[in-house]
Structure 1
Amino acid sequence: MGIGEAAALLGVGMAAGTINVVVGSGTLVTFPTLLAFGYSPVVANVTNTVGLVSGSLSGIHGYRTEIGDFRAKRAGRLARLIAASLLGATTGALLLLVLPPKAFKAIVPALIALALVLIVVQPRLAKRIAARREAAGDGSRDRGWGVLAAVYGTGVYGGYFGAAQGVLLMAILGLTYADHLQVLNGVKNVLACVVNAVAAVLFILVGTFGGGPAVQWGPAAAIAIGALIGGQIGARVGRRLPPKVLRGLIITVGLVAIVSMLV
């Protein structure tokens, strides 16, 4: 890995770390960059997953107060949400490792397109969530197994690829709990971190001992350092970024990724 590649991956890692903490679509920045440097889609995905774990951890640290507020009220519920994410991530990561690389290359453009649609509709979704929260007052709509199933499904998606899983989680949490959005964003960061960490561990183990796609440690380290810094930026000042500018950047990069995988 040359100096230019390392610098580029450090930069996009920082951007992804910031984006993941704020909205949760950082993969749409780092994944296309890895493709542009010539890595195969599956190798780029496992490398990206490992690299972005540090950003998730950084985001959790930045939102530790909000996470503590949620845990104080619903410690048991938070534990069950984490368990659902863990199981979902394991399922999704195993699917990535079991299915042939051609399947990933065929499926991922559709997943990226889905992620871009979610990002486009996110403002409307946020308004609906706010309206339901206002109607609920201080209560919540904890649907038990229903919300756990939805979080599990998001974990499967995140373990397999992961772009915009944060958008999905925010929709699920926002429609279920009446807590402040920043509190739910903290919980989102916890669940996304669980998914990324579980998938990363499986990818490392299988790539090292099981003959699976090998993590490229140089690029992963560059992304990790950038994401670690970006996670702190996202937790402190990322909320001030103009939403339209952020969404426009993510959509542009996502479209480039789709084109790069189809040609």
Structure 2
Amino acid sequence: MSNSALEFKDMSFGYPYENDLFMELNVAVQPGEFVSIIGASGSGKSTLFKLTVGLEEPTRGSIRLDGEKKANRLGHVGYMPQQDLLLPWRSILDNAALPLEIKGVSKKEAHKRIIPLLDEFGLNGTRDKFPSELSGGMRQRVSFLRTVLSGSPILLLDEPFSALDAITKVSMQEWLLQQWEKQGSTIIFITHDVDEALFLADRVFVLTETPIKELKEVTVPLNRPRRLEDLYSADLLEVKKDLMFELRSTIT
């Protein structure tokens, strides 16, 4: 049995009345790994997201979590979308408590568990505020806390920083790496930003031609902990150049 946190095994998928988008795809992500998935618009990133979290099912093959075939993955993979989706009428504390409440935890117990985490996630002093009172970066911190509280060791983040300004985006990338190192989760990070993919990940998977029979894999030549200046190392600039060429070749 595979020890992979996530595995696509001979997985094929296509929407009705269309050709297959994925064809007998085999990919494995290891426990505790940080993987980025990158591709041009329309390359299949969103479909891969839906398949991973269980919003779509393969037409052939299987998707395995922790080595087990999971026909129903909803609730087994924590996910964080592009928009924070915080409920505007709920306080930050109550927003963060939502995944625990869905699991049947009382509001009182959920608050008890979450309050110590607010400071750890950079949210000290926000418990009684509402989403409209927070910056975009702070709202994304709440969204990530909520994703972690789903209890899943596998977290899928779908371009969570795409709407942020450049300075806030860099700050959030550094913060995310710190949290990942503390939590030990397996993270699959979908992005269209080459610098972001390389800065965050151990490996980068590139979606290229369709049908997608394999994902081009790039191992990031950076040690951890990462520093922003590492993005300008000669080795990484060469990798970035190759990635940009690969992505440009997919645009017709």
Mark the structure with the bigger radius of gyration: 2
Greater RCO, 1 or 2 (C-alpha within 8 Å, sep 6+): 1
* TM-score between both structures, scaled by the size of structure 2: 0.27
* TM-score between both structures, scaled by the size of structure 1: 0.27
Structure in which a larger fraction of residues adopt strand: 2
Structure in which a larger fraction of residues adopt helix: 1
